[in-house]
Amino acid sequence: MIVVMRNGATEAQIKDVCSMIESCGLEVHLSQGKERTIIGLVGDTRKVQEDRVKSYAGVNEILRVVKPYKLANRVFQPEDTVIEVDGVKIGGNNFTLMAGPCAIESREQLFRAAEEVKKSGAKVLRGSAYKPRTSPYSFQGLGEEGLKLLAEAKQKFGLVVETEVMDTRQVDLVAKYVDIVRVGTRNMQNFDLLKEVGKLNKPVILKRGMSATIKEWLMAAEYIMSEGNKEVILCERGIRTFETETRNSLDMCSIPMIKQLSHLPIIVDPSHSTGKRELVKPMSLASLAAGAHGLIIEVHPCPQEALCDGNQSLTPEMFEDIMVMIRKMAPLMDMVL
Amino acid sequence: MIVVMRNGATEAQIKDVCSMIESCGLEVHLSQGKERTIIGLVGDTRKVQEDRVKSYAGVNEILRVVKPYKLANRVFQPEDTVIEVDGVKIGGNNFTLMAGPCAIESREQLFRAAEEVKKSGAKVLRGSAYKPRTSPYSFQGLGEEGLKLLAEAKQKFGLVVETEVMDTRQVDLVAKYVDIVRVGTRNMQNFDLLKEVGKLNKPVILKRGMSATIKEWLMAAEYIMSEGNKEVILCERGIRTFETETRNSLDMCSIPMIKQLSHLPIIVDPSHSTGKRELVKPMSLASLAAGAHGLIIEVHPCPQEALCDGNQSLTPEMFEDIMVMIRKMAPLMDMVL
Amino acid sequence: MIVVMRNGATEAQIKDVCSMIESCGLEVHLSQGKERTIIGLVGDTRKVQEDRVKSYAGVNEILRVVKPYKLANRVFQPEDTVIEVDGVKIGGNNFTLMAGPCAIESREQLFRAAEEVKKSGAKVLRGSAYKPRTSPYSFQGLGEEGLKLLAEAKQKFGLVVETEVMDTRQVDLVAKYVDIVRVGTRNMQNFDLLKEVGKLNKPVILKRGMSATIKEWLMAAEYIMSEGNKEVILCERGIRTFETETRNSLDMCSIPMIKQLSHLPIIVDPSHSTGKRELVKPMSLASLAAGAHGLIIEVHPCPQEALCDGNQSLTPEMFEDIMVMIRKMAPLMDMVL
Amino acid sequence: MIVVMRNGATEAQIKDVCSMIESCGLEVHLSQGKERTIIGLVGDTRKVQEDRVKSYAGVNEILRVVKPYKLANRVFQPEDTVIEVDGVKIGGNNFTLMAGPCAIESREQLFRAAEEVKKSGAKVLRGSAYKPRTSPYSFQGLGEEGLKLLAEAKQKFGLVVETEVMDTRQVDLVAKYVDIVRVGTRNMQNFDLLKEVGKLNKPVILKRGMSATIKEWLMAAEYIMSEGNKEVILCERGIRTFETETRNSLDMCSIPMIKQLSHLPIIVDPSHSTGKRELVKPMSLASLAAGAHGLIIEVHPCPQEALCDGNQSLTPEMFEDIMVMIRKMAPLMDMVL
C-alpha cells in the first residue's frame, strides 16, 4: 500500500500518518519527491483500514499494490480449483454445460426440459424456484414445490441440479434439495446471504453483480470462502453499460482476467447477458473460445409459454444446434465436455 | 404497450400475437406501416407479461407507454407524500437534515455526534449497527448493541433515529429500536428484504442501487408499497459510471425527474456519492437547489478515528458550516427546515 | 414513429401535433388509451425531425419503430457487403487478418513487422503515421514520412496497407499512399471527417466510438455512405464502462447485433479494447467464434521499444501463436482465411 | 510514478526496468515488499512514457502520483484564471450567463433571442452556425451566413458572441466573426482541432466529452494551452451512463473536483445534459450552488419551430424565470452576475 500525501502536506502530517502505520505493526518507507511525499507500507497491508488512512489530514490518495482478496487469489493457489459434484467436474480443463428453464413452472415443463438438455449433453439442470423479479406484479416462482420437482428430476434423469437462493431464510431449505446453489446478480453484495452460503458444504455459483468490478466480484467470492466454503463458481452474466440494443454487455474480457487473478472456475450465462435468443449461440461459442469453464443456458420446451424471460430461452432444437458446434470446438481448446 | 413486428413478419404471426393479447382481456389496434406492422394494446397493460409477448415469433420489440409502477406513480397521486415521524416531517416543502456517523462505534462516539448534529439543526440521527462491507475482513458493525445505543440516543437527545437493515432476519429486531429503517444501495433489489420492510409500520429510506435506473428504483419502491407500507423515502446516493475521480457520480437530475414521476420524498446522500469530504458541502447545497427534500450526511466527532468511511465524514464544525448556508438558502427555495 | 402524449394532454394539443405531422406528408393513426393518447405516424418517418415533434406542448415521448439508418440497414440490402482491395476480400465468409505496429517508428521497425505478419498470414498491414494521443507531450507520429514507408512496404511485401486519418486536411494526402483509411474511435462523430472520407474511392475502417451506441455507430457509417462511399468496415474496439481492470470492455455482443442490423463487415481490435497483451489471444479467438469478419492486431518486432502502446503489442511469435489456432478454428466457423 | 512488479519478477527484470528509468534521467527508489517489488521514480516523470514502462517483462502495473497536466494544474497556478472579453469576465467570483438558440436559423430568430436573453441578464449570446448532427439527414446549420448574423447581433445588442467550430478548416473563418469559440463534446479529443484553437487569441469553451474522465478533459485543455492559448473555459455537459430517463447524466461533482484540480473556469450546460426543458431550471440553480462559474442555456423565441433540440430549449419567459432565482441566489454564493 502506498500513501500519496498532498502537495504541501506538512512535516507533522507526514509524521502522524507514519506513526499510525507503525502502530499497526508495519514498516514505513518514506520517499520525498519534488512535488509529493510518498509513504510506502511494508508488511501485510490487509490489516490496515484504507478508509482510516485516507481520513488523515494531508493524505491525497492511497494506491493499493496487493490485491485485497487472499483465498480467491491465484498468487496463493497457482493451480485451478476443480469442483466435483456427483462425478461432474467444474473447472480446470472441463467444459461443463448447465441448462434448463429460467423458472420452474410445472413438472411437465421441467421434466421435458431436463430430458432434452440431458440428451444434448448438459450435465447440470438449472431452474429457479424463487425468482427475483423487477416488478412485484410478476410471477415470483413456485417456491418449495419447485425445489421438490428439481430433486425429482435429479433422480429421474441423473442430472446434477442447481437453483437460486435469494434470502438467508431459504438457504437451509434450498440446500436440502439441490446440489449447487446460485447467488443471483442482484445479491452479489448481499453479504449476509454470502456468509450463509459460505457455511454450506455445497458449491455456490456466484453471478457477477450488474455493475460489479472484477475486484468486487472476487471480494464477494472471498466472503463465501472466508466462511469455509471453497467451492465457488464465478459466473459472468453481463454488465450494465450505456448500450441498449442488448440487455447487458457481456464482458468477455473478464474470462481471461479472472483466470489470471484467481484459481476459481468461471462460467458464462449467455442468456441473461444478451436478453436475446439469437445472440446465445455466438456468445456461447465465443465464451468457449475465450477460455470459460462452462455455460449456463436457458432452455425451455416451449419458450412462448414461458412465465418469464421467454424471449431469451432457447428451444431444445436451438440448444442442440449450439452443442453440435461446441462438440467440435472443445477439443481444439483442449477442453473436455 | 406497443408491439412492433419484425420486417417480414407473416400474417399468421401477427394473428398469433393478437389472439394472445385478446386472451388477456385487452383490445388490439392494428396499424400496418410500409415497413412494419405495429400492434397497439388498449387496456391495463400491467397485466401482460412483456417477456411472454417478446417470445412470440415475428415480434421485434415492445415499447411501453404506461409506467409499470402504480402506487409510486404521481399520475395516481398528484400531491406530494409527506411522512411524519415524532413530529418530524419529510416530503412536501420540508427540508429535513439527517446526520450522524457512518457506523456506530461506541456510546461516546454516537452521543457526541448526536449532540453536535442536533445543535446544528439535524432532526434525524443516522448510524449503522450492521455494515455492508466490500471486504469480509473489515469492521462489520456492533449489531444489536448499536441498535440499543441508537434507542438511548433517541431518548437523550430527542432525535428521530434511523439505521440500515441488511437481512430479512434482522427486520423485526431493527424495527424494535429505530424510527426509520434504511435499505442500502446493494440491497435495492433484494426483493425479499423489500417485502419484509413493506410489512412494517415505519418509514423506509430506499437508497438507489449503484446501477439502478430511475424506473427500477421506483419499481423497488413499488415492492415495499405493494406490501402495504406507503412511507418510502427515496435516497439518491450516486451511480456507478466510468469516472474514477469521485467514488460515484451523483445523479443530480434524478431529483427533478423523481419529483415529476412520483409523489414520494427524495433526499440525497452527498457523503457516499462523492466519497470525498471536501465535496459534501457543494453537493449538499446543489441538492437543495435542485429540489431535494433533505440530506443524509455522515458526521463523526473525530473522522480520523472512524472505523469506516472516515475520509468522507465531516467534523461537526464542517457540518455546521454547511448548515449556515442551508439556513440562508432554504427560504429562497421555499423550503422549511 | 409513435408519439405518446402526456397524461392529461388537451384535445387542442393533440390536434396541433396531428396537423404538423400531416403537413410533413405523413398519415396519422390516433389511438385513445385509458391513460394516454398515442399518435402513430405512417409513411417515411425519416423526414420528420424528432426534436421538433418533442417540442410540442403535451408530447411526452417519441418511440421510434424504423431504424434511422437506411444505406447501412440490412433490411434494404439483405446480402453481406464484401469489399475487395487488391484481391483481399473483407466481409461475407472471409476472415481477414490485419496486423502491424501501433505507430510507424522507422523503416526497419515497419518492414520487420510487415515481413513477420505476412509470414503468419496477415493480408493487411496496419500502422499509424498520425497518432491521436491523450497527452500533447507524447509522440505524435511520423506524418507523411510514415505514409511513404507504408507505400514502400506495400510494394516490397505485397500487403494491402491501412492507416488512420485524423483531420479533414489530411484526407487527400493519406489516400494517396494507402489502400484503406481508418477513422479512429475519438473521431467516430467528427462529422466533417466522415463526410470527407465518404468522398473517397477507398474502403474506410470505422472504429466504434468509446461510448457510442450501436445505433450511433451505424449512423456514423450512414454519414460516410450518404456521400457515396459504400465500403465501410465497422471495427469493434471496446466500450467505456466502470470496469478498470481492462482498458475498455470489448462488447462482444455487438458482433452478432451488427450482423443482424447491417450488411457491412465487422472486425475486432483486441489490442486496444483490452490494453493488455495477454488478453489478445483469447479475445481474438472469441471474436472469430462470435462471427467477426476479421481482426486488427498490434504486432511490434520489439514491443519494449515501442513509442506507444507497447504493453498491448504482440511479438511476432505471439501473433503466430494466435494464427495457429485461428487456422484450425476458421474452417469450423465456415470462414476462409 | 510507481512501478509495481509482478509477483515473482526476476532480479534481471527488475534491473532492466531500473536501468531504463535511469537512462531517462530519473532516480530510482527500490522497495522490496513481502509479495512484490516496487520501484519509485523520483524526478519529472512526465518525461517517461508510461506505455513503454508497461511493456517491460515483469511489470505488473504503473501507479501515477503526479497529474499528467501541468498548465491546467492548480498546483502550478493557485489563483483562479479570470478571462475577460469585451468587459465580460468569466471565472473567479463571476457568474456568467450565456444563452441563445441551439442552431442559428434566421436573422429574426437570432435577434429576437438576443434581445430577450440580453434583457434577462445574459452577457454572451450562444448560437451554432455549424451543427454536429447524429444523422446526415438532419439540418446541418447555416454556415458562414450564420456567423455573419452573429457578428451583426454583437453590434446591435452589445453582446459577446460565441459559436461552435467543428473542423480545422473552419477555425480561421469562425474566429473572424466571433469572440469565443466552442469545441463540442464529440470533438473533445479531436486533437488537430484542439491544436488549431490553441493557436487562436480568443477564449475557447471546451465541452467535456460524453465519456471523458475529468483527467482526459483536463488533458484536452492542456493540448489547447500547450499551443499558447491559456484562455480555456471548461463546460460540463453531462456524461453517458446507463440511465435513459435523461439524455445524459449531469456530473455535478465535476464542478468542485475541477475547481480543486485546476484554476480554469468551469461552466455548465443544463440544456444538453438533461435533454428536457423542465430540468433546466433545477439544474441551473444546482450548478450555481455547486460552485460553477456560469451557465450556457438554450433559449429559442419559439421552441416549437426550432430546427434542432427544440425539446430542451426554453422560451424567453422560462429563461427569465430562472434568472429571477439566480439573481437572488448568486449573492449568497458570493458570486457577481
Q: Please name the chains neighbouring B, where neighbouring means 3+ C-beta pairs under 8 angstroms.
A: A, C, D
Are D243 and B239 in contact (CB < 8 Å)? Answer: yes
Are A226 and A199 in contact by the 8 Å Cβ rule? The answer is no
Is C49 in Cβ contact with D138 (below 8 Å)?
yes
Q: Over the stretch A223-251, which tens digit does the pLDDT of each residue have?
A: 999 999 999 999 999 999 999 999 999 99
Q: Which grid coordinates are listed for A116?
A: 432434452
What confidence tier does C34 reach under pLDDT thresholds 50, 70, 90? Answer: low
- Tell me which residues of chain A have a C-beta less than 8 Å from any C-beta of chain D: 2, 4, 7, 29, 31, 33-36, 38, 40, 42-44, 63, 65-66, 75, 240-242, 244
Q: Do C42 and B31 touch (CB under 8 A)?
A: yes
- Give the C-alpha separation, A38 to A1, whole Å: 11
Chain A residues in contact with C260 (beta carbon < 8 A): 278
Mutate to test the interface with B, among C4, C6, C35 (most CBs of B within 10 A): C35
The domain made up of D2-63 has a fold known as: Alpha-Beta Plaits (3.30.70)
- CB-CB: which of B31, B43, B66 is closest to C29? B31
- Closest CA–CA distance from residue D16 to any residue of chain A (Å): 20
Res B302: pLDDT? 87
Q: What is the pLDDT of residues B112-169, one digit of tens each?
A: 999 999 999 999 999 999 988 888 888 889 999 999 999 999 999 999 999 999 999 9
Between A100 and A7, the higher pLDDT residue: A100
* Neighbour-count burial of D290, counting CB atoms closer than 10 A to its CB (0-12 exposed, 13-18 middle, 19+ buried): buried
Rounded to 5 degrees, what angle do the CA atoms A198, A204, A209 make?
Answer: 95
With contacts defined as CB-CB under 8 Å, which chain C residues touch D248? none
Is the pLDDT confidence value at D34 over 70? no
Partner-chain contact C66 B36, CB within 8 Å: yes
The least confident of A176-190, B66-80, B178-192, D218-232 is B66-80
Name the interface residues of B facing C (CB cutoff 8 Å): 2, 4, 7, 29, 31, 33-36, 38, 40, 42-44, 63, 65-66, 75, 240-242, 244
The H or E element spanning position B14 is helix B11-23
Residues B123-133 pLDDT 10s: 999 999 998 88
Identity at A221, one-letter amino acid code: A
A51: nearest CB among B55, B137, B311: B311
Name the minimum distance, in Å, from the CA of D336 to any CA of chain C. Answer: 33
Amino acid C86: pLDDT: 96
Nearest to C1 by CA among C32, C23, C28: C28
pLDDT score of D155: 97
The shortest C-alpha distance from A11 to chain C (Å) reads: 33
So what's the pLDDT on residue D57? 83
With cut-offs at 50, 70 and 90, classify the pLDDT of residue C90.
Answer: very high
Of A293-302, A308-317, C274-283, D293-302, the poorest mean pLDDT is in A308-317
Interchain CB distance below 8 Å, C282 and A215:
no
Check whether C7 has a pLDDT greater than 90.
no
CA distance C81 to chain B (A): 20
Residues A160/A123, Cβ–Cβ less than 8 Å: yes
ipTM: 0.90
Write out the E strands in A149-203: 160-164, 180-183
Q: How open is the CA angle D321-D324-D327, to the nearest 5 degrees?
A: 150
Compute and round to an integer the Cα radius of gyration of chain B. 23
Pairing mode, strands B266-268 and B232-236: parallel
Residues C130-152 have a mean pLDDT of 92
Over residues B48-67, the mean pLDDT reads: 79
Partner residue opposite C136 with nearest CB, options D190, D222, D305? D222
Question: Given D241, D244, D278, which is nearest B239 (Cβ)?
Answer: D241
Contacts of C44 in chain B (CB under 8 A): 34
User: What are the pLDDT digits (tens) for B62-113?
Assistant: 877 778 899 999 988 999 999 999 999 999 999 999 999 999 999 999 999 9
Q: Within a 13 Å sphere around the CA of A31, how many CA atoms are in the beta-carbon half? A: 23
Whether residue A38 has pLDDT greater than 90: no
C-alpha C108: how far from its chain's center? 30
In this model, does residue A129 exceed pLDDT 90? yes
Region A323-330 average pLDDT: 98
pLDDT at B58: 86
Determine the residue among A63, A192, A223 to mutate to test chain B binding: the one whose Cβ has the most chain B Cβ atoms within 10 Å. A192
Maximum average pLDDT range among A195-209, A293-307, C6-20: A195-209
Exposure of A243 in the CB half-sphere (CA atoms within 13 A): 34
For A154, B174, C99, C142, C272, the CA distances from C114, given in Å and listed in that order, are: 57, 69, 8, 17, 19
Instruction: Please determine, for residue C240, whether its predicted confidence score (pLDDT) is greater than 90.
Output: yes
Phi, psi of A55 (to 5 degrees): -80, -10
Q: Which long-range contacts (CB under 8 A, 24 or more apart) does A105-113 make?
A: A105/A142, A105/A306, A105/A307, A106/A149, A107/A149, A107/A152, A109/A300, A109/A301, A109/A302, A110/A149, A110/A150, A110/A153, A111/A153, A111/A156, A111/A157, A112/A301, A113/A299, A113/A300, A113/A301, A113/A316
Q: Does the predicted TM-score (pTM) go above 0.80? A: yes
Task: Sketch the domain layout of chain A as residue ranges.
Answer: 2-63, 83-333
Cα B92 to Cα A200: distance, rounded to the nearest angstrom: 48
Partners of B47 on chain C (C-beta within 8 Å) are none
Query: Taking residues A15-30, what's their average pLDDT?
Result: 85
Q: In this complex, which chains have at least 3 CB pairs below 8 Å with chain C?
A: A, B, D
Q: What pLDDT does residue B216 have? A: 96
Higher pLDDT, B55 or D119: D119
Give every strand in the sheet of C27-32, ordered side by side: C27-32, C37-42, C2-5, C59-63
pLDDT reported for residue B26:
84
Closest approach of chain C CAs to the CA of B3, in angstroms?
10
The reply to whether residue C291 touches residue A283, judged by beta carbons under 8 angstroms, is no
Report CB contact under 8 Å: A285, C285. Answer: no
Cα Rg for chain A, rounded, in angstroms?
Answer: 23
Chain A interface, best mutation among D35, D60, D62, D73, by max A CB count within 10 A: D35
Question: How far is C259 from chain B, CA to nearest CA, in Å?
Answer: 16
C49 or D22: which leads in pLDDT = D22
Size of interface B-D (CB pairs under 8 A): 112
Nearest CA in chain B to D291: B282
**Is CATH 3.20.20.70 the right assignment for the domain spanning B83-333?**
yes
- pLDDT greater than 90 at residue B52: no
Q: How far apart are the C-alpha atoms of B9 and B33, rounded to whole Å?
A: 12
Q: Is B66 in contact with C36 (CB distance < 8 Å)?
A: yes
Find the closest chain A residue to D7 by CA distance: A75
| pLDDT one-digit tens code per residue, C278-326 | 999 999 999 999 999 999 999 999 887 777 767 789 999 999 999 999 9
- Among partner residues A51, A222, A303, which is closest to B310 by beta-carbon distance? A51
Distance separating the N- and C-terminal Cα atoms of chain B:
43
Mean pLDDT of chain B: 92
Mutate to test the interface with B, among D236, D243, D269 (most CBs of B within 10 A): D243
Tell me the chain C residues in contact with residue B31 when contact means C-beta distances shorter than 8 Å: 29, 40, 42
The single-letter code of the amino acid at A193 is L
The shortest C-alpha distance from B269 to chain D (Å) reads 13
User: What was the pLDDT predicted at A34?
Assistant: 67
How many degrees, rounded to 5, is the angle at CA B318 between CA B315 and CA B324?
A: 145
- Alpha-carbon gap: B294 to the closest alpha carbon of chain A (Å): 25
User: Which of A69, A241, A250, A253 is most worth mutating to test chain C (most C CB atoms within 10 A of its CB)?
Assistant: A253
Per-residue pLDDT of D259-291, as tens digits, reads 999 999 999 999 998 889 999 999 999 999 999
Nearest by Cα to B187 from B223, B158, B152, B156: B223
B264-311 pLDDT, tens digit per residue, is 999 999 999 888 899 999 999 999 999 999 999 999 998 877 777 667
Q: Let me know if the fold of B2-63 is the same as that of B83-333.
A: no
- pLDDT cut 70: percent of chain A above it: 98
Q: Distance from D225 to chain C by nearest Cα, in Å?
A: 10
D51 and C310: CB-CB below 8 Å? yes
Supply the mean pLDDT for chain D: 92
The pLDDT of residue B45: 74
Flag if D241 and B245 touch (Cβ within 8 Å).
Answer: no
Chain D residues with at least one Cβ partner in A under 8 Å? 2, 4, 7, 29, 31, 33-36, 38, 40, 42-44, 63, 65-66, 75, 240-242, 244
D-chain CB neighbours of A241 within 8 Å are: 242
- Residue of D21, D59, D65 to mutate when probing chain A, most A C-beta within 10 A: D65
Tell me what the pLDDT averaged over chain A comes to.
92
Q: For the segment C246-285, what is each residue's pLDDT rounded down to a tens digit?
A: 999 999 999 999 999 999 999 999 999 888 899 999 999 9
pLDDT for the residue C177? 98
- B162 CA: distance to closest CA in chain A (Å): 20
Of the listed ranges A146-155, B249-258, C50-59, the one predicted with least confidence: C50-59
Give which of C160, C179, C166, C177 is closest to C100, Cα–Cα: C160
Using alpha carbons, select from B139, B193, B147 the residue that is nearest to residue B167.
Answer: B193
Structure-block grid coordinates of residue B297: 450526511
In D, minimum Cα distance to A40 occurs at: D31
Q: What is the mean pLDDT of chain C?
A: 92
pLDDT number for residue B34: 67
Flag whether pLDDT at C46 surpasses 80.
no
Name the band, by pLDDT with cuts 50, 70 and 90, for residue C115.
very high
Segment C28-39 mean pLDDT: 78
